[in-house]
Structure 1
Amino acid sequence: MKIALIAHDEKKPQMARLAAAYREILRGHELFATGHTGKVVADATGLTVKCFNSGPLGGDQEIGALIAQNKMDLVIFLRDPLTAQPHEPDVNALIRLADVYDTPLATNFGTAEVLLRGLDAGFVDFRQLVNGDESKHEHYE
C-alpha cells in the first residue's frame, strides 16, 4: 500500500511522533512525503521515505497527481488550521482529489490513528475496495 505523509510546519513534530508510534505498521508499506516532512519521518523512524519536492515547491501537487492517477492508497496530511503560513500546502485540493478517487485522507492525528489501526487490523483494504474484486468484501455491503 502507498501512503503519503504531509505536515504543515507546526505539525511536523506531531507527524514524527505519529510515524514513530506506528513505525511497525508503516514499515510494511511504501511511504511518500513532501520534502521536509519526509526527512522528519525518516529521521524519527529510520524508515525509507520517497521524498517529493517540499510543499512550497509543489510536493503536495506531486502527491495529488498520484491520487489522480489512482496510485496513492492513503494520505495523512496533518494540517495546522490556526497558524498555517502562506507558503505551506493547501489541503483543499488534496481533499477534493481524495474524495473524487475514494482515497482515505486524515487531516488530524486522531483520524490518522484510526486509519493506521484499521490498516494494521486488516479491516481496511482501500485499494481492493476501490478497484478490486468486491466479492472479497461482502461484509461491507
Structure 2
Amino acid sequence: MRLGLAANQLHHAHADAALFRWLRACEAGIRELELGLHAVGRTYDAILRSGHLEGYAPLRRYPYGREGGLMKLVAEVVGLDGGRTLDGAIYLIDPVDPSSIFPEAVALKRQCVIHGKPFVSTVASARDWIEAERIHAGLAPDPAADVFHALESQTVALIAHDAMKPDMLAFADAAFDVLSRYARRIATGTTGQQLNELAWGRGWPRDTPWVERYRSGPMGGDAQIADLVLERRCQRAIFFEDPQVARQHEADIQLLERAVTTRTDEAVCITSPRVAARWVEAVRRRTAKR
C-alpha cells in the first residue's frame, strides 16, 4: 500500500510538531505494514532531519509543493500509467495556512473522496488509520491506540450531503452494532431523522432517539457540530461528502472541516463510505482479539 504524505509547515516546524507526534506513535506500525510513503519535498526533508524512518526504503521524496509535488500526488491518487497509483493520502493540515486551500490541496481531498480512498488530515485520523490497517493485516492490537476504540465514552457525528444520504443509511444499517456502542450519536437535521427511523425499524426503543438531531447543514448544523469538536465533545466525524455538486453552505462545511483539523490530536474524520466500512470491520476484528 502506498500513500501520499504532506504536512503544512506548522506540523513539521519543531521536534514536537504534529508530523513527528504521529511518527513517534506509528513508526513501528508503518514498518510492520511496509507502508509506502510518497512525501512532498519539505515534509520528506523534515522526516530526514528528525531521524524518523531512518533507512526506510518505502519512504520516497517528491518535489517541493511549489515545484508540483502536491499536484503529482493528486494525479497519482487518480492513477497514472506505469503503476503510478496511490491508495490515498495523509495531509496534516494547519487550517490557518493559506496553502491548505490551494487548488492542489483541495483537489487532493476531492479525488480521494471520489475514488473512495482514505484522505487523512489529522494526527488522530492518521493514528487510527494505521491501527485499522494493522488489524486488517492480522497484527495484534496496539494498546496505545485503545483511546480511539473507547467508543462507549465517545461521541460520533454522522453527516451526509443530500446525494450521499442513501449511502449513510446503508452504512449505518451495516454498522449498526458498532455505531450503537457510542455513548452519543449526533447528526444534522434530515440525516438525523432518517437515521432515527432506521434505528426504530431495527427495534431501537421508539421513545429514545438513536441520534441527537442538530439543525440542518444550511441552517447551521455543521457549525453546531464544529463547536462540539472544538470543545472536545465529539471525537469522530463520519462525513459523507458529495464532491460533484456546488454547496450553498460551503462556508459552514469548511467550518466543520477546520474544527476537525484544529483538534488534530483528538478528532478523527472519515470522508467516504468505502473507508468507513473498512474502519468498522477493523473495529469488529480488534474487539474480537481482546
Using the size of structure 1 for normalisation, the TM-score is: 0.77
C-alpha distance in structure 2 between counterparts of 1:91 and 1:77, whole Å: 10
Q: Deviations over 1:40-77 (max 9, x none)?
A: 11112335110001111100110000001011010011
Aligned twin of 2:74: none
| Residue 15 of structure 1 pairs with residue 168 of structure 2 | yes
Tell me if the contact between 2:157 and 2:187 (Cα under 8 Å) persists in the aligned partners.
yes
Query: In the alignment, which of 57, 67, 72 is matched to residue 234 of structure 2?
Result: 72
Tell me if the contact between 2:223 and 2:252 (Cα under 8 Å) persists in the aligned partners.
no
Structure 1 residues 71, 109: CA separation in 2 closer, same or farther (over 3 Å shift)? same
Structure 1 residues 117, 91: CA separation in 2 closer, same or farther (over 3 Å shift)? farther
| Residue 101 of structure 1 pairs with residue 263 of structure 2 | yes
Query: In the alignment, which of 197, 213, 218 is matched to residue 56 of structure 1?
Result: 218
Aligned twin of 1:36: 190
Aligned twin of 1:91: 253
Tell me if the contact between 1:25 and 1:120 (Cα under 8 Å) persists in the aligned partners.
yes
Give the counterpart letter for 1:39 in structure 2: Q
Shift of 1:107: 1.3
Q: Which runs of 5+ in 1 are unaligned?
A: 124-141
Alignment length, in residue pairs?
123
Using the size of structure 2 for normalisation, the TM-score is: 0.39
* Percent identical residues: 31
More relative contact order in 1 or in 2 (CA 8 Å, sep 6+)?
1
C-alpha distance in structure 2 between counterparts of 1:14 and 1:71, whole Å: 25
C-alpha distance in structure 2 between counterparts of 1:88 and 1:31, whole Å: 23
